[in-house]
Structures are given as C-alpha cells and as structure tokens.
Amino acid sequence: MAKLFQHQTLGDLMAGFFDGSMTIEALLKEGNYGIGTMDHLDGELIVIDGKAYQAKENGELVVLKGDETVPYAAVTDFTPDQTFTVNELFTLDEWHQYLKGKLKSLSTFSVIRIEGSFDFMHTRVIPRVEEPFPRFIDASRKQPEFKQENVKGTCIGIYGPYLFEGVVKQGFHCHFISEDKNFGGHIIDYRINHADVSVQTVTDFHQHFATNNPAFMNATVNYDNLITEINESE
C-alpha cells in the first residue's frame, strides 16, 4: 500500500483556517516525506527522510522539534515504484509535461522526489499572519521570493488528480530543500541540470480533518472562487 496522508484540505486553507491543528510529531508518524505549511502560515513545511523543516519568511531554514503544529500538510512513507534520470534542460512547462508523461496515471496521486543539481531554483515563502485571518489569497500577495543558481537539493512534489482539485492543488505542488539544508520553500520555477527522479504511485488517499479545531468544525466555509484562488496563489 502506498498511502498519502493529508491533514486538512487546501480548500480550507484557502478559506483562512490557519490555526495549527496537528503536531509535527503526530504528522511524522503518518509519513517521512511531504509538504505543508505551519501554524499561522508561518512559512513552508518540508518533510524529508523523516525530518521536518520550516522555511521561514526571512529565508532561514529551521529543523522542527515536534511540538510545532500545522494547519495543512500531506505526507507519505515514500516508497517509489519507478525511477529515472534527467539530463535535459527543460522549461518548467516542458518539464511538467514530460513528468506527466512519465507518471503511471493521472487519475491518482503521485509523490515525486527530484534529487540532483539545478541551474536555478526560485522559491517563495508564505509570511506569518495574525488573527483575524484573511483568506489565503490576500495573505499570499506579499511573499518573499528567493533565488539560487547552481544549487543541489531535492524537490518534494505531489501530483494531484483533476477530480481532487480544491481538496489539493490539481497538478504539481512542489517544495524545495537544498542539500546543505539552508535554502528552501515553495517552488515557483526551476531548471534541472541533472537529477534522479523517483515516483510513488499512490494507492490510498487518507483525508484527515481538524476535528479538534472548533472554528473549523462550526464554520460555514465560503468556497466561492476557490479554484481561481488556488490557481492564483499556489
């Protein structure tokens, strides 16, 4: 079984539920590899090889201890069912088309690990917000961006099928962490120089909800413009 565990949905994050409702310690029990964001949208979450890192808006990367919380994350115990290497120079659109062609199916989720050297890596980090929480689209309008050239590291990606748009981001959602673990974030653009790619085709999708968050449990959530907002801000 290749299970993808998701805590909360991207749609509810978009609607402004930014309170952390699951600890990193509990999340790591569900998987050793994945992505997400932090309590109060305090940066980007990167989970790799069983360790969790927070990319902060000042550009710092911090190792998480376990008691920090997340409002949204998706993790898996990464067990790839196919691997291949890439040495070609692609634009991001070309690469995504190529990668889609390599996935065993576009009807289920895939989890992807792209490890290697990159000509450039362009990331952004969502900045922390305070209550009352805005919608994600408004919180995402001023995000610090970071660029490095000739960087080694890993892209942690999830492919979400069309049917699940709103529950997740449809298409690719990728975070980066450098080999030296001091640069990372949500990927805007990148170009592979040379990379080893591994892909896990997901057999089981486990959707977990923040039943411990009364604000979420008692809300009538406004999902108007949800897909537009996801496409604009993710």
Instruction: List interacting residues with Zn ion (CB under 5 A).
Output: 186
For Zn ion, give the closer residue by CB, 122 or 186: 186
Provide the minimum distance between the beta carbon of 44 and Zn ion in the complex, in angstroms, as a whole number. Answer: 6
Provide the minimum distance between the beta carbon of 85 and Zn ion in the complex, in angstroms, as a whole number. Answer: 25
The pair of three-digit structure tokens given for residue 119, joined into one six-digit string: 């000509």
Strand, helix or coil for residue 31: coil
The pair of three-digit structure tokens given for residue 113, joined into one six-digit string: 């690990």
For Zn ion, give the closer residue by CB, 81 or 189: 189
For Zn ion, give the closer residue by CB, 86 or 168: 168
β-sheet bridge partners, residue 117: 152, 194
For Zn ion, give the closer residue by CB, 113 or 186: 186
Provide the minimum distance between the beta carbon of 206 and Zn ion in the complex, in angstroms, as a whole number. Answer: 19
Provide the minimum distance between the beta carbon of 87 and Zn ion in the complex, in angstroms, as a whole number. Answer: 27
Q: How far is CA 131 from the centre of its chain?
A: 23
**Residue 64 φ/ψ region, left for φ over 0, alpha for ψ in the -120 to 50 degree band, beta for the rest:** beta
User: Any idea how long the chain is?
Assistant: 234
Q: CA-to-CA distance for 37 and 13, rounded, in angstroms?
A: 9
